Every structure is written in C-alpha cells, then in structure tokens.
Structure 1
C-alpha cells in the first residue's frame, strides 16, 4: 500500500467511502440538533418576547393597568378601608365587615346567564391582537388575536380566536386555540387546569372572568362540535353541554409534540366588569 503525502498509508476506496459516510452522518446529526434547538428554544424565546411586547402595547393603548396590578390596588384599597373602619369604631366594639340590612346574600355559584352582555363592536381584523388572556393558576399571560393562522397568530406566541365564535362576554362560545409546544407554547400545561380555576379575558372596555368547568382529554382534530355555540363533542358525545350559555373553550394539540388529537377545556362566564 502506497504512502500518503506525509508518509501515512493512503485510504483504500472502501475506507474513503466509509469515512465520507461517517462525516455525512455527523453533519446530519449536527443539523438535526440545531433544528431541534431552534424549534424547542429559539422559537419559544422569540414568540414569548413578541407576546409580552404585544400585551404591554395593548395595556398602554387601553390606558389602564393589567389585571394583576389592578388586583393589588384593590387589595391595598381594601386594607385602607378596613383601617378607617377600625379607627371609626367605638372602643370595645367588635371588628367585622360592614353590612347592609336586607342586602341579598352573594350567590354560591356563578350565574350562567349574566344580566347584561358586552357590546361586541366591530369584528377585529384578522391576525390583530385585541384582548389579553390570563390563566393565573398556570402563570400564563398571552395576547388574543383574531383567527388561528399559524404564521399570523399562533407562531407569534398568541392565542387565536376561532372566527365566527362569540366574542368575550357574549352569549355563545368564545373559542380559542394555542400552541402546546414551540412558538411560545402558551397552552403547554393546559391539562393542569382544574374545575374552578379562573380564565380571565381583558379587552379595551371590560374584564371577563370565566371559571373552568369541564375538560375533554382527547378528541379528533376535526371535532367541530367542541367550538359550537352550545359546545358538545361530535366524537365523544358524553362531553359537553346541552343548554345555551356563556362559554369559553380552550383547545390545543395532544399528546405533546404531536398534532394528532385535541385537548379541550371549557369554562363558564362568572363575572364581567368595566375596566
């Protein structure tokens, strides 16, 4: 076997072929690792940054504080009011909440039919962020945009509103979709929501609080019944509702890292108040 230019044996044709194949496999592996890193890390980083910026922009445009800061302000106001009542109370009087004679007791459960409905206004433009969704038990805050296109909405880390379904606070079904994995993955832990957890939706004019009511762990990606005005699965018909109401529906892919099936969480409107 002849030596190479530096005295090393020259590779035979079979050896060269194996060496070239090994280099190709290593290169392909590195490319795949970079692709996985891009999908699992970079897309999340970019989408979350854009989503946070969009939430801040909406709050500035609305000229108000976010739900979290508003709640803190209300707690502080409540403490100040309690302090004033304590100072005004006669010495020796028992401390307790002020009551109004003949005032009705608060309802133990939210009403399925709120006394008034929000003004829907003009339909939002496609891909336009116009509301903010908060899932306090999951630590999720995300913009809500009209439509569920991947490029214009979901891949930005937004939650998408199914066109044709109700808007926040309206009778019917306010139906939303979001990524479970990659691109901000706002619905990554949607399966952790439990009955009674809050789903808060803020718009320019009002804040709507829904309470989680039911979960459909898995259904077909084509199960349109889950976002109907009266939501009921067309595939697993024991899941859903049989009467009109004020609903919210959250949908995402399941199992994780696939898009084969859909996970669905339903809630009912519990309260609405102006901003």
Structure 2
C-alpha cells in the first residue's frame, strides 16, 4: 500500500474521531443543558398549574421550633412536588424537586432521596443534583457558605433553611450524610434538617460535595415571599 494512501486514510480517521469528540462535547455541554432547561421549566409549570387548581392547606407562620406542618399524600416517584431557590447560586436560580434520584429523574431537576424526611418535617430532607450536564444546577456548589438561605415551596408554604457548613467532601459510599441526624454536620439530636449533595470533581463523580442546613422559618405562601427571596 502506498505511503500516501496510508497517510490519507490515517488523516481521515483522525478527522472522523475529532468530529465525534466535538459532537460529544457539544452534546454534553450544550444539548443536555437545553433539554434540562425545557424539562425543568415544564416541571415547574406543571406544579404551578396543580397548585393553582387545588392549593395544599398550609400552616400559619411559625418559628422553626414549633411542630412541623401536617403530612400530605406521599410523594410520587419521578414527579415534582416542590421548587427550590438558592439566592447564592443566582437571582434566577430555581429548580423543581422531584421524588427519587434515578438518572432520568435528575435530568429533569433535583431529586429527593426516597426514604429521607419530607419537606419541613423532622428528619433530614435530602436532595441531589447534577454538578455538570443537564443544566448544571449545582455548578457553583462550592460557593455555598454558612448562613446562606435555601428556600423551598410546596405551593402552600415557604420553607427557609439556613446552611450550617461549608461544602464537605466525601465518597459516594458515605451514606451517613443523609441520616435523620447527620452527625458529621455537628447536629447531635433530632431536628428539621436539609442535606444537598452533588458530584466532585466538577467533571467527575469519584467523590461527593455535601452541605447541611437546618429549618429556620416557615410562612404561608399567601403572606408573600420570604425575606431571603424578597430582600
């Protein structure tokens, strides 16, 4: 086989491989984000329509030390039930929270770990989200700091949690981070806690980043947005 033919064949192969790599990068960095934006917006719209038609009964404004709101029907796997806002991550940062952490669920928004506490109840309400791809909801996770607000609503009540720790790095097998009382957070007894988890490093998944928070306040939706969002 002539040397020229070998060189041309090799060059064409390199071009083909390079094109595939570029297409893959475009898919990962842009197309999954576009899909996630559409999916998450659709989940929020679905929630808002549901809330408008049949709003949930909510408690009166209470300090965090009083009993949690009464439980409603169980969360349905793969379905949205709340919207989360984290001002530290952006003025327009809002993502739906769905039940479960399966891959197809996390492509639509954030995922609530099944078996952990319900929103606002005693225990550890635990939520996972992508660091990169599918909208990059937790891309800026390392920026979270103690005192930052994490605000959620179920359509009837606003729940304002306050972060207690800087992001903690651990391994995926460290399931104790979502225990009812996450001891590594420094909590030593029952309470109404929140755990957020995402992948570490930014483009990998060998480790996890964790932040813990406690419920600081609740108020009915009809009273307007909480101070953390309106300030």
Q: Please give the range of the TM-score, normalised by the shorter of the 2 chains.
A: 0.7 to 0.9
SS in 1 for 2:183: coil
Q: Which has the larger radius of gyration?
A: 1
Q: Which residue of 1 aligns with 2:59?
A: none
Q: Secondary structure at the match of 1:215?
A: coil
Give the Cα separation in 1 of the matches to 2:182 and 2:37.
30
Q: Is residue 2:82 matched to residue 1:131?
A: yes
Which residues of structure 2 form unaligned runs of 5+? 54-61, 222-231
Report the counterpart of residue 95 of structure 2 in structure 1. Answer: 142
- Which structure would you say has the larger RCO, counting Cα contacts within 8 Å and 6 or more residues apart? 2
Alpha-carbon distance in structure 2 between the residues aligned to 1:188 and 1:173: 23
Superimposed CA distance per residue, residues 154-179 of structure 1 (whole angstroms, 9 cap, x where no aligned partner): 112x1000000001110010000000
Contact kept in structure 1, 2:144 and 2:167, CA below 8 Å? no
- Report how many residues are paired: 211
Task: Kindly report which structure 2 residues correspond to 1:1-275, keeping only aligned pairs within 5 A, or say none.
Answer: 13-63=2-52, 114-139=65-90, 140-151=93-104, 153-156=105-108, 158-233=109-184, 239-275=185-221
Cα offsets for 1:180-215 (capped at 9, x unmatched): 000011111111111111101100321110011113
Q: Tell me the distance in 1 between the aligned counterparts of 2:211 and 2:166.
A: 4
| 8 Å Cα contact 2:157/2:219 also seen in 1 | yes
CA distance in 2, matches of 1:150, 1:61: 25
What whole-Å deviation, never above 9, does each CA across 1:87-134 have from its counterpart, x for those lacking one? Answer: xxxxxxxxxxxxxxxxxxxxxxx96x5212112222111101111011
4+ long deviations beyond 2 Å: none
Output the CA distance in 1 between the equivalents of 2:22 and 2:71. 47
Q: Distance in 2 between matches of 1:269 and 1:216?
A: 18
Q: TM-score, normalised by structure 2?
A: 0.86
Q: String of CA shifts for 1:37-72, please: whole Å, max 9, x gaps.
A: 1100110111012212221231232129xxxxxxxx
Q: Distance in 1 between matches of 2:197 and 2:3?
A: 54
Secondary structure class of the residue paired with 2:163? strand
TM-score normalised to the size of structure 1? 0.73
In structure 2, how many angstroms separate the alpha carbons of the residues matched to 1:123 and 1:218?
Answer: 31
CA distance in 1 between counterparts of 2:125 and 2:148 reads: 17
